[in-house]
Amino acid sequence: MDVFHNPKHPYTQGLLQSVPRFGSSVQKKDRLDVIEGMVPNLLHLPDGCSFAPRCYKKTVECTLSPIPLQPVSERQEVRCIHA
Ligand code: SF4
């Protein structure tokens, strides 16, 4: 359940922020959050992280080589170098 309560990957964070929360004490919004951009063409994935073209945390290092899966806790791993 850590992925829902303490997401580490920026894409997971973005997805969870786009979910409407009825009855929440969080300030109501006129519009849901969105992840800008388009999903990548699976036949032409970008070098490095596939999420880089849409990621708010992207740096040059994200685009250079495949991103390794890294442990971030005893029960969580993430494929992100800035998690
Ligand atoms: S590796 Fe870089 S581009 Fe990919 S999710 Fe992490 S911060 Fe974003």
Q: Rounded to the nearest whole angstrom, what is the distance from the C-alpha of residue 31 to the centroid of ligand 1?
A: 25
Query: What is the pLDDT, as a whole number, of residue 81?
Result: 96
Q: Which amino acid is at 68?
A: P
Cβ burial, residue 25 (10 Å; 0-12/13-18/19+): exposed
Q: Rounded to the nearest whole angstrom, what is the distance from the C-alpha of residue 54 to the centroid of ligand 1?
A: 9
* Distance, CA of 40 to CA of 35 (rounded, Å): 13
Decide: 35 in ligand 1 pocket, CB within 6 A.
no
Query: What is the pLDDT, as a whole number, of residue 27?
Result: 58
What would the two tokens of residue 63 be? 């685009």
Could you count the other beta carbons within 10 Å of the beta carbon of residue 18?
11
* Distance, CA of 12 to CA of 26 (rounded, Å): 19
Check pLDDT > 90 for residue 57.
yes
